Amino acid sequence: MKSFINRMYLQILLVLFFILFALLAINPIDRHDWMLENLLAVIFLVFLISTKSSFPLSRISYTLIFIFLCLHEVGAHYTYSNVPYDAWFESLFGRTFNSIWGWERNHFDRLVHFSYGLLLAYPIREIFLRIANVQGFWGYMLPLDVTMSTSMVFELFEWGAVEVFAGDLGVAYLGTQGDIWDAHKDMGLASCGAIIAMLVTAGINIYLQRDFAQEWAKSLKVKEKNPLGEVEIKKLWDKKKDNQ
């Protein structure tokens, strides 16, 4: 049974996700916003499924991606600005979550942006380690860098979507809720999530990996002492002329 679960782990997660996807596809608050929100998610899912044979990820990475996509589907169903987490919390504990912290804004989108960094930095790290063979410092810095930069790219994507889909759809998709610093805060939270993920990963590796310090130091040593830039360009140019 355990062997079967290990072999079919991604398929099990996909079935669970598609069940949630189907349920949350029923009568979303704004059908057009739901479709727009799911555009990138569907592309991402197709990519994961198409690479599961040639480049399968670890069960940890698949689980983290699964959790993130589930959170995203909740936001897509209600629109991020209207996820009723306060009503859910109040029904359980008798008071709203926002009232505890003195919040007035719906912060579900902040949670998902934070989760983007917290949950996806590790899968990105796995890709760097297995394809680029990065080690030491770069195995933590590059996933953090990619997480931060893709978070910025998504904010640009939101801006572009608002320019194309003006009116209520654009406002619903952008979800700033009147905060002029919304994009900055979203990127900051994604960065914080990624930093936490990499610190936790580093802490585990420090505990388990005997040569952690040695690998870290080796990754920061200069591999090519000669400067590149114009020197390397001249070498390539001369080589090209010699081959003509």
Give tens-digit pLDDT for 102-123: 888 889 999 999 999 999 999 9
Gap between the Cα atoms of 185 and 239, Å rounded: 49
Alpha helices (H) in 25-84, listed in sequence order = 31-50, 59-78
- Reading the block at residue 171, the tokens are 């406002």
Do 191 and 148 form a contact (C-beta atoms < 8 A)? yes
Max CA separation in the chain (angstroms): 80
Q: Side-chain half-sphere of 35: how many Cα atoms within 13 Å?
A: 4
Gap between the Cα atoms of 187 and 152, Å rounded: 6
Alpha helices (H) in the chain, listed in sequence order = 2-7, 9-24, 31-50, 59-78, 85-93, 97-101, 108-127, 138-164, 168-174, 182-208, 212-219, 230-243
User: What confidence tens digit (pLDDT) does each residue in 195-234 have?
Assistant: 999 999 999 999 999 899 999 999 999 988 888 888 888 8
Gap between the Cα atoms of 197 and 205, Å rounded: 12
Confidence band of 164 (pLDDT split at 50, 70, 90): confident
- 81 pLDDT above the threshold of 90: no
- 131 pLDDT above the threshold of 90: yes
157-164 CB contacts, 8 Å cutoff, 24+ apart: 157/40, 158/183, 159/183, 161/36
**Under DSSP, is residue 28 helix (H, G, I), strand (E, B) or coil?**
coil
Gap between the Cα atoms of 112 and 70, Å rounded: 10
- 51 pLDDT above the threshold of 70: yes
Cβ-based neighbour number of residue 107 at 10 Å? 21
Q: What is the mean pLDDT of residues 164-184?
A: 66
Put simply, whether the predicted model's pTM sits higher than 0.85 gets the answer yes
Residue whose tokens read 């949630």? 20
What pLDDT sits at residue 177? 66
Q: What is the mean pLDDT of residues 63-87?
A: 95
Residues in CB range of 165: below 8 A, 6 or more apart = 32, 36, 173
- 173 pLDDT above the threshold of 90: no
Higher pLDDT, 135 or 156: 135
- Reading the block at residue 21, the tokens are 């996807």
Gap between the Cα atoms of 118 and 144, Å rounded: 10
Gap between the Cα atoms of 165 and 140, Å rounded: 37
Do 125 and 140 form a contact (C-beta atoms < 8 A)? yes
- 160 pLDDT above the threshold of 90: no
Do 134 and 214 form a contact (C-beta atoms < 8 A)? no
Do 87 and 34 form a contact (C-beta atoms < 8 A)? no
- 42 pLDDT above the threshold of 90: yes
Gap between the Cα atoms of 58 and 126, Å rounded: 8
